[in-house]
Structure 1
Amino acid sequence: MQKTKLTLAAATLIVALPMLQGCIEAAVIGGAAAMGVMTAHDRRSTGVQTDDETTEWKAMQRVPEKYKAFSHLNFTAYNRRVLITGEVPNEEAKTLIGEQTRQLEGVREVFNELNIAPTSPLGNRTNDSYITSKLKARLVDSNQLSANHIKVVTENGVAYLMGIVNDREAKVAVAVARTTDGVRRVVTIMEVVSESDTRRIDTSAPGGARNAPPQTAPVETR
């Protein structure tokens, strides 16, 4: 009896394998398609996106060992412009890390926003991630621009906005960021181009317009 049950189970598995394989292939293809959609909605070329990711990795590798244990560092590259955020122990570390990042091949501009302070606790970083998530969600909900056109980095409650946008989109992004709970300050590092340029770059038009939310948090432009 036991042998019969095992035989039936084995036969069922053999029959099911082709269907399982089909499900796995569908999941892989679906994931690849989703990634393709994300890439298509990014205003950077695929090559520049790859270069930006490589730049972030290279910048982190060039941090001197003597500073790594006493620093909290984030390198965010967008369209060959690099934002450095976090905390370092002294001015020398901040200057050196900024200079080394500028020397990386292909980097057009560096925004050194490092703070000279003890490394932030994990709770602060978790809260920053939560703020970033809320801000991105509100950008989507605004229905006035694609959230894929704005790169959001939050550090100690300061929201940094990067991306390639037109003037209308920049104003919407700033307005949304300023009114997002938890944001203490907004710093814009967006590249503002003409609306005709964004239409040319885009593969699809942005969604319908809504009124921008009221502005509250102060804004700084780098």
Structure 2
Amino acid sequence: MTQTNTVERSQSLPSGASARSPRRLWRAASVLAVVLAATQLQGCFVLGLGAVGTTAYVATDRRTAGSIVEDNTIQLKADNRISSALGSGVNVRAVSYNQQVLLVGQVPTEADKQKAEEVVKGVPNVKAVLNQIDIGPVADLNRSATDTLITTKVRAALIDAHDIFGNAFKITTSNSVVYLMGIVTQREADRAVQIARGTSGVSKVVTMFNIISEQQLQDMRNPQTVNAPPPSPTASVPN
């Protein structure tokens, strides 16, 4: 079951206990990313950072290997179709997780926003589309840098938490709104939203989760268990 929700930011909450050893490594990498994001804003840096984290992230991803490949294919096709349909003067990004696509960015008109959604729905194997594109001018470099910093801080906070597994979540930030995606239990979902809401700079939290049971989570942790894929999403757009 996919759960989509929007939550306004609240006051910061106390952090959890100190992280375990593997978490310390992720925490150190995240802190380094914060520093670099604030000082290096060139495209080559962003690409390099993604490449460094890819292997470790795939090793801990709750999606199947086939689903990860499919999501990468969907993102590429969606971006290409949006570019062909809308041309220049827009800034739209497609983020796919478990064949659910989140659209963020900026376009000049409502018609452009709807056109982007239509072309992405036509991409093979897309199960649901959450259209969160803003109508207005394209974000400048400062806005993009701020969003990158917020994403990094939320990622670091999730990894630093002792009661959930931070790498189970895919995080996207656009115009200070944080979007959380993942295959998680209700307990994990609630805790992640709590952490994101308490991160400085976050104006709102929107979730698009595949909710699983605690037993399904235990089965995923057991290498001897053959798991059925999570239930198909039935996404809804938050009010």
Class of the TM-score when normalised by the shorter of the 2 chains: 0.7 to 0.9
Which protein, 1 or 2, shows the higher relative CO under an 8 Å CA cutoff with sep ≥ 6? 2
Aligned residues: 174
Percent identical among aligned pairs is 34
C-alpha displacement of 1:82: 0.2
Question: What is residue 138 of structure 1 aligned with on the other side?
Answer: 157
Residues 1:197 and 2:216 aligned together: yes
Structure 2: tracts of 5 or more residues without a match = 1-52, 224-236
Q: What displacement does 1:200 show?
A: 1.2
How far apart, CA to CA, are the structure 1 residues paired with 2:65 and 2:90? Answer: 32
Counterparts of 1:142 and 1:186 in 2: how far apart (Å)? 18
Q: Which amino acid aligns with 1:41?
A: T
Matching residue within 53, 66, 69 for 2:72: 53
- SS of 2:155's partner is helix
Query: Whose radius of gyration is greater, 1 or 2?
Result: 1
Paired residues of 1:67 and 1:89 also in contact (CA < 8 A) = no
Aligned to 1:97: 116
Preserved contact between residue 188 and residue 221 of structure 1 (Cα < 8 Å): no
Does the C-alpha gap of structure 1 residues 43 and 221 become closer, same or farther in structure 2, counting only changes over 3 Å? farther
Retained in 1: the 8 A contact 2:75–2:94?
A: yes
Q: 1 CA distance for matches of 2:165 and 2:150?
A: 18
The 4+ residue runs of structure 1 with deviation greater than 6 A are none
- Distance apart, 1:144 and its partner CA: 1.6
- How far apart are the structure 2 equivalents of 1:137 and 1:37? 15
Give the Å deviation of 1:68.
3.0
The TM-score with structure 1 as length reference comes to 0.74
- The one-letter code of the counterpart of 2:146 is N
- What's the counterpart of residue 41 of structure 2? none
Code of the residue aligned with 1:49 in structure 2: it is I
User: Deviation of residue 192 (structure 1)?
Assistant: 1.3
Aligned-residue CA RMSD (Å): 1.9
Per the normalisation by structure 2, the TM-score is 0.69
Aligned-pair distance for 1:191?
A: 1.4
Unaligned runs of 5+ in 1: 1-33, 205-219
**1:221/1:164 CA distance change after superposition, 3 Å:** farther
